[in-house]
Amino acid sequence: MNKKHTEMLDFDKKHVWHPYTSMSKPLPSYLVESAEGVYIKLASGEKLVDGMSSWWSVLHGYNHPQLNKALIEQSQKMAHVMFGGLTHEPAINLCKKLIAITPKPLQKVFLSDSGSVSVEVAIKMSLQYWHSLGKSEKHKLLTVKNGYHGDTFAAMAVCDPVNGMHKIFESVLMKNIFAPAPQSNFFQTWDDSELITLEKIFAEHHHEVAAFIIEPIVQGTGGMRFYHPKYLQACREYCDKYNILFIADEIATGLGRTGKMFACNWADISPDIMCLGKTLTGGYMTLAATLCTDDVADTISNGAAGCFMHGPTFMANPLACAVANASLKLLETGEWQQQISFIEHFLQEHLLPLNSHYRVNNVRVLGGIGVVETVDAVDMEYIQKRFVELGVWIRPFGKLIYIMPPFISNTEELSLLITAISTVLDEAPCFV
């Protein structure tokens, strides 16, 4: 690494605040020079197979020619224009595509600029919906423990209140209602005994609950937990029975990652409101969408306010919309189904055997997601360094070493990821 790179990293360490990192004792950051396909190239020369899809967002790989082309062509027309009183073709085309691929009742699209904001929008929609109906007493959210929905304030208020990352903000967050986390494993025989407690909570609190929000099938940051589709079906049934809106947070699970276009498809249910983000632009730019039914949109629009009270400056950014259209066009070919099926079968064959390792508590695979849950927590700094030395980019947390590789990953690249995981499991310094 040359002097310039060293100086850059020096400045970064002293002045740049990275996510979930202390400024007084920051974790090391690795300087990226470029990225291509599934590889991240560091300034120090290493080429790393990306097992994280850059926090689950890079579907089709880095530097994709069709996404690059869409970005360049749109930049020559306009990079941005306000969406208040104006509209444009990239946004209109994107909304057409989203309505076409999401469950049929979702007919209205509100575009925003990040996943967390799409959750904020969904929560505001649900609250304004009931306010418009003269039922402002329905002002709380119902959700499940072990959930994660983002780092902004309303989103934090529906993340796990005990084991989540936001406990220090508890005194200033909305007070919502939490049901036990789903217990029935995706792969096990369904046991409906846990629904007794769940329905009891719906019955007791429905008069004050505006909406129920959940990550369909996969609880991500709350533990990479895969739960049974029957549980999700029951949630939809209880929302209907007790007159509560259903919000599906598909930010991490949407657009193919679990093996279905949307995780809701595993349970064959439709939400009243759906949140999308992360993968929407194939990992190129920040963009999110909140979709809702005609009923939700019409009720809000015909209420006292006469409009929905939200409007981000960069909503429907033309550059982001153009790239999102190109990304969705790649998904429209259907190739993603073969890609995810290949990744799933490869992980089942080569990752699941790590279940027998003495440092492993459980290994699970669903679609393009592979999770190794260890007995002890990882030493983040040490294990990250070892993964880089082994030629991969995997960023674990707690007791979870997981991968969500880009859809285009091949046998050699997946093998390198699994070999790296197997290697660190044998090394004591990698764990606390």
* Residue of 138, 145, 260, 278 with catalytic role: 278
Whether 148 sits among the annotated catalytic residues: the reply is yes
Dist. CA 42–CA 308, nearest whole Å: 45
Whether 135 sits among the annotated catalytic residues: the reply is no
Range of weakest confidence among 81-85, 165-169, 427-431: 165-169
- 257-271 pLDDT tens trace: 999 999 999 999 999
Dist. CA 365–CA 110, nearest whole Å: 33
DSSP assignment of 161-191, as one string?
A: TTTSS-GGGGGGS---EEEPPP-SBTTSPP-
Q: Please say if the pLDDT value at position 161 is more than 90.
A: no
Task: Domain ranges for the chain, please list them.
Answer: 31-63+334-430, 68-332
- 171-192 pLDDT tens trace: 889 899 999 999 999 999 999 9
- 20-51 pLDDT tens trace: 899 999 999 999 999 999 999 999 999 999 99
Domain 31-63+334-430: which CATH number of 3.90.1150.10, 3.40.50.2300, 3.40.50.720, 3.20.20.80: 3.90.1150.10
* Residue of 50, 249, 260, 399 with catalytic role: 249
Mean pLDDT within 144-153 = 95
Q: What is the structure's pLDDT at 164?
A: 66
If DSSP codes are grouped into helix, strand and coil, which group holds residue 228? coil
* Residue of 62, 129, 148, 231 with catalytic role: 148
Whether 278 sits among the annotated catalytic residues: the reply is yes
Mean pLDDT within 361-381 = 98
Is the CB of residue 276 less than 8 Å from the CB of residue 254? yes
* Top-level class of domain 68-332: alpha beta
pTM for this prediction: 0.97
Q: 245: left (phi > 0), else alpha (psi -120 to 50), else beta?
A: beta
* Residue of 3, 14, 20, 25 with catalytic role: 20
What integer best gives the mean pLDDT of the chain? 96
Is the CB of residue 241 less than 8 Å from the CB of residue 202? yes
Residue 225's contacts (CB-CB under 8 Å, 6 or more residues apart) are 146, 181, 182, 218, 219
- 278-314 pLDDT tens trace: 999 999 999 999 999 999 999 999 998 899 999 999 9
Dist. CA 390–CA 399, nearest whole Å: 20
